Structure 1
Amino acid sequence: MLRKLTLAAALFAPSAALAHPGHQAGSFLAGLGHPISGADHILAMVAVGLWAAQMGGRAIWAMPATFVGAMVLGGAIGAARLPFPAVESMILASILLLGAVVALAARLPLKFALAMLALFGAAHGWAHGAEGSSGGLLTYAAGFAMMTAVLHGAGLGLGLALQKLASMRLTRMLGAVTAAAGLAFVFGG
């Protein structure tokens, strides 16, 4: 089982460079494209939705909303070129820790989960804002916020569908693969 998880994580390793250069800075389409241009963003954002599904209740809307809101704020900070210490490490930590909480089906207090998601969202947003800050920040931010919400929705929908199928095991396996990918990024990127 561990070998399968490691192999799955290794598949994501080539895109472990957390910066995604080559965006048409400032455009709505560039903002839409940024979150899906690297496995690091996709894994973390889908994991937010999976975890929200596991937590249930208010978490279903509060967790994705917190991440997106903090991400937009982080984007503004990045665009302003204000420092965000260890942003790359924080993005790596988000993949690893979000995968782990899904794998463990962790039921943390919602306030703690939201604080963690706000920190991770701000880090991802800083990376988006720093890369797309040369003009059109509002349209760029609208694009990356929208695609992030779509990725959260995909994770949430998948998590809720798996719950209806009584397949919490598969949800937890997806979390384990995400955490393993995070480890692959740490050691391979």
Structure 2
Amino acid sequence: MKKTFTSLAALSSLALLSSPALAHTGHETASFSAGLTHPVTGFDHLIMLVAFGILVACVQTSTVRKTGLVISALVSMLVGLAAGQWFGGFNGVELAIGSSLFVVSGAIWQAFHASKDMLRLALTLCVGLVFFHGYAHGVEAQGAISAFAAGMMLGATALMVLGLQFGRSLSSPWLSVGVASVSALVIM
């Protein structure tokens, strides 16, 4: 147990010492096509959205509740987009985005091993962290972003549905290890 804690502390320290990814600079935010393609070309979004779809697929609940989780994540992203445009940037956005990738990974594991209350907390945290993915785009958005937002919502929905299909076919807690590994590679 002590060795695991020491390894986790060392890994966390390295993550905090690394420079921010700054993955959200210099791309167009005015067109529908830019919004549609960004979730696929922005690796942090790609991982988070597909992993969130996997998480939703692994949760033992009704289709209506699964749909509600997807809609909640989309609303969180949209509110983040508006908040980012309104309030502007702050230093913690990139850290929150990077952290979200590992939180969703842990939540996938929790879908198989946790109590209902712990799983509910993990799902709520994941939906909340999607907010920061939208927030980063709102900060850099220029002018009216409605077309970009519409494209981004459509692209995000498609990626979550892809994750849902993937999670249904390979329903396993070990998917969380794959998500964490890919996340670590992207952040490095």
TM-score bin, normalised by smaller chain: 0.7 to 0.9
Residue number in structure 1 paired with 2:136: 127
Tell me the CA shift for residue 117 of structure 1. 2.4
Amino acid at match of 1:17: A
Mapped pair 1:69 → 2:78? no
1:112 equivalenced with 2:118 (yes/no) = no
Distance 2:47 2:74 in 1: 15
Equivalent residues of 2:89, 2:136 under 8 A apart = no
Alignment length, in residue pairs? 164
Larger radius of gyration: 2
TM-score of the superposed pair, with normalisation by structure 2: 0.76
Aligned residue identity for 1:97 = V
Distance 1:82 1:20 in 2: 13
The offset of 1:157, in angstroms, is 1.3
The corresponding residue for 2:162 is 154
Corresponding residue of 1:32: 36
TM superposition score normalised by structure 1: 0.75
The equivalent residue for 1:57 is 61
Q: Which sections of structure 2, spanning at least 5 residues, go unmatched?
A: 1-19
Determine the structure 2 residue equivalent to 1:178: 179
Distance 2:46 2:148 in 1: 18
DSSP-derived class of the 1:24 partner: coil
Is the partner of 1:25 in helix, strand or coil? coil
Q: After TM superposition, which residue ranges in structure 1, 4 or more long, deviate above 6 angstroms?
A: none
In the alignment, the residues of structure 2 paired with residue 185 and residue 106 of structure 1 have an alpha-carbon distance, to the nearest angstrom, of 27
Structure 1 residues 37 and 81 mapped into 2: Cα distance closer, same or farther (>3 Å)? farther
d(CA) in 1 for partners of 2:86, 2:113: 36
Name the amino acid aligned to 2:98: L
Name structure 1 gaps, 5 residues minimum.
1-15, 163-167
> RMSD of aligned C-alpha atoms?
2.3
Paired residue type of 2:66:
I
